A and B are shown apart, each in its own frame.
Chain A
Amino acid sequence: SQTIHQWPATLVQPVGSPLSLECTVEGTSNPNLYWYRQAAGRGLQLLFYSVGIGQISSEVPQNLSASRPQDRQFILSSKKLLLSDSGFYLCAWSLAGVFYEQYFGPGTRLTVT
């Protein structure tokens, strides 16, 4: 069966510091991968998605970037965090060619101070 991991589970970072959140998927090959941000009362906002290694689509221009260095690894980064980057970040995967049935990781709570 497939499993998705995210780490760290929680993170407190000062404004202006860099960020790296990691997501890995096990048990499937060439998955579609997604990064979402969840703010209270605002549902989920899709940030990035990837259909393959090195292929990243950005949904919202912002202070964040994503990379996919390996087939089942997806990384969310920032060079300098802003207060507004605080939130709950969720990684998700779907089968190749099937974007709509997505499965989520446990999430990372990021607090920028």
Chain B
Amino acid sequence: EVKLLESGGGLVQPGGSMRLSCAASGFTFTDFYMYWIRQPAGKAPEWLGFIRNKANGYTTEYNPSVKGRFTISRDNTQNMLYLQMNTLRAEDTATYYCAREAAISVYVMDDWGQGASVTVSS
């Protein structure tokens, strides 16, 4: 059974930094692209970026809306996915989800975590 569990959310001041983690289990982690998506309360989900699998060199792509402030990384020895968020703003307040790419289609996510809440406020 695929499991994705985010952690590391909470309250952070504007301008601050936060790192979210996602513990993955139940599948061969290195075989899959991994994604971060966020969703402000009552709004549409927003794709933040992904990190490719081993076969594609673990390279990353980002939404221009967060490129340069957010960094996605992975620890393949621990089956962990990370999202480093810097220079946080109030508009970054959202629930953050990690997700695994579907085996049957690129850029589609077939397993999601429950989400981690991030609040940016003074």
User: Are both chains from one complex?
Assistant: no
